[in-house]
């Protein structure tokens, strides 16, 4: 028994770790950060408030929020030398490849404060990562389109600042649309943490050896990139695009037949989940956000959105999906929202990484701060050859 929840021993035997940060009930479709339901956080808080909650375990008072956001603002710029590191990448490099490299390189710029046994250093690293991820991500985008980097504007809130660094140029005034900024902030909240998913487990495992936080977060970014994980929102848009090219809604039947075909590896990207065997609560909120953004931009008749709604309807009614409990997950609508906002598909997972940075940091901190924690060392089920002796090559 751990306070409010009772785990059956069987569950604990498969649990990777104990954590007090995020709770998911996959069957009920419930998600809570530090005990607060995601539905309430997404409506009543902003992303930095959620960062404070995940990092400190409590929602901030006004004074604590002001202090936290002030510290973030003081660290939004990156070391000027780091801006030159982008030159080493090809212009057509995938932004996730750039993010893995750039975040890992932060270890080289801030090595004077990387003693992870020092809680001070852990806090400095955490605040630097929260503050710099939008700058590094926007710079990755600007670099790939050959536009000059835009410096952070500390008079803007976190999400507006990111949109400004993404879409402003030195040639003309650009003021971020507050509706889009609020939508982005909600996307960040919904992606902020998610218990022991693959990338968080990667961060924990690499952190358990004592590696520095920047290197651990870079490892998490690498894992998130995969299409079965964070790369699903990009893969979902590619899937919708392909169906549109083949004829759109009229072609859904053929596509669904491919998905159902036992011999085909085609999956309905943005559907299914390792844990949620009910509707992903984030997908519901993402769907609302999608409607808001499309209405704001006059895109409510967007054919891709209509296609997505048609796919969702089939998945919620068709026996193949219903029997396998394949509901839309967070990635299904997040791609459509971001595409409508003008964010390139290749950057969707980068924004997921930006959002998840606080979750990775909170989980890494919890692990490092646990006096009983040891280096992770998963075992295996050996299925190889039995013991045998080496024969000299002449006899092989």
Residue ranges in contact with ligand SDX by CB under 6 A: 194, 197, 228-229, 232, 259, 267-275, 324, 326, 329-331
| Burial class for 252, CB neighbours closer than 10 Å (0-12, 13-18, 19+) | middle
Q: Residue 311 in contact with residue 252, Cβ under 8 Å?
A: yes
Helix (H) or strand (E) holding 38: helix 38-44
Distance CA 175, CA 167 (A): 9
H helices, E strands: number in the chain:
18, 3
The minimum distance between CB 152 and ligand SDX, in angstroms, equals 27
Q: How far is the CB of 149 from ligand SDX (least distance, A)?
A: 29
Nearest to 308 by CA among 264, 260, 275, 268: 268
Least Cβ distance, residue 354 to ligand SDX (angstroms): 14
Q: Which is nearer to ligand SDX, 20 or 169 (CB)?
A: 20
Closer of 56 and 274 to ligand SDX (Cβ) = 274
For ligand SDX, the closer CB: 75 or 267: 267
- Is there a catalytic annotation at residue 331? yes
DSSP SS3 for 263: coil
What's the gap between Cα 40 and its chain centre? 20
Active site residue 193: no
Kindly state the smallest distance separating residue 251's Cβ from ligand SDX, in Å: 17
Which residue's CB is nearer to ligand SDX, number 238 or number 275? Answer: 275
Which one is catalytic: 185, 273, 291, 389? 273
Q: For ligand SDX, which residue has the nearest CB? A: 272
Shortest distance, position 180 Cβ to ligand SDX, whole Å: 22
Contact partners, residue 8, CB within 8 Å, separation at least 6: none
Q: What are residue 273's phi and psi, to 5 degrees?
A: -165, 145
Residue whose structure tokens are 């989940």: 273
Give the separation between CA 193 and CA 125, rounded to whole angstroms. 18
Q: Which of the residues 8, 331, 370, 389 is marked catalytic?
A: 331
Cβ-based nearer residue to ligand SDX, 158 or 255: 255
Active centre residues (catalytic)? 273, 331
């Amino acid at each position: 028994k751990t306070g409010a929840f009772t785990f059956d021993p069987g569950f604990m035997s498969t649990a990777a770790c104990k954590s007090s940060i995020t709770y998911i009930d996959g069957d009920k479709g419930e998600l809570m950060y530090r005990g607060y339901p995601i539905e309430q956080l997404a409506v009543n808080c902003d992303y930095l408030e959620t960062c404070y909650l995940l990092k400190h375990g409590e929602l901030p008072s006004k004074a604590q929020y002001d202090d936290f956001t002030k510290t973030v603002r003081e660290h939004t710029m990156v070391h000027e030398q780091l801006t030159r590191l982008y030159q080493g990448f090809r212009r057509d490099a995938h932004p996730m490849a750039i993010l893995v490299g750039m975040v890992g390189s932060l270890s080289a710029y801030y090595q004077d404060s990387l003693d992870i046994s020092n809680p001070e250093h852990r806090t400095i690293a955490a605040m630097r990562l929260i503050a710099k991820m939008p700058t590094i991500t926007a710079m990755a985008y600007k670099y790939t389109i050959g536009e000059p980097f835009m410096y952070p504007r500390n008079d803007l809130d976190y999400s507006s600042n990111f949109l400004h660094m993404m879409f402003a140029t030195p040639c003309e005034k650009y003021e971020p649309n507050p509706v889009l900024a609020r939508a982005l902030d909600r996307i960040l909240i919904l992606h902020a943490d998610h218990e022991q998913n693959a990338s968080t487990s990667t961060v924990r495992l690499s952190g358990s050896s004592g590696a520095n936080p920047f290197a651990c977060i870079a490892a998490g970014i690498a894992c998130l990139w995969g299409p079965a994980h964070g790369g699903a929102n990009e893969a979902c848009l590619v899937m919708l695009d392909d169906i549109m090219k083949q004829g759109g809604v009229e072609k859904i039947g053929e596509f669904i037949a491919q998905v159902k075909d036992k011999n085909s590896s085609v999956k309905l990207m943005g559907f299914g989940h390792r844990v949620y065997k009910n509707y992903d609560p984030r997908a519901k909120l993402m769907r609302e956000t999608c409607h808001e953004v499309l209405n704001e931009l006059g895109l409510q008749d967007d054919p891709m959105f209509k296609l997505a709604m048609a796919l969702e309807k089939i998945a919620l009614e068709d026996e193949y999906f219903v029997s396998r409990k394949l509901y839309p997950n967070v990635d299904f609508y997040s791609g459509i929202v971001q595409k409508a906002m003008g964010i390139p598909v290749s950057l969707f997972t980068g924004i997921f990484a930006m959002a998840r940075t606080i979750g990775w940091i909170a989980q890494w901190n919890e692990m490092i701060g646990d006096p009983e924690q040891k280096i992770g060392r998963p075992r295996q089920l050996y299925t190889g050859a039995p013991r045998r002796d080496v024969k000299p090559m002449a006899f092989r």
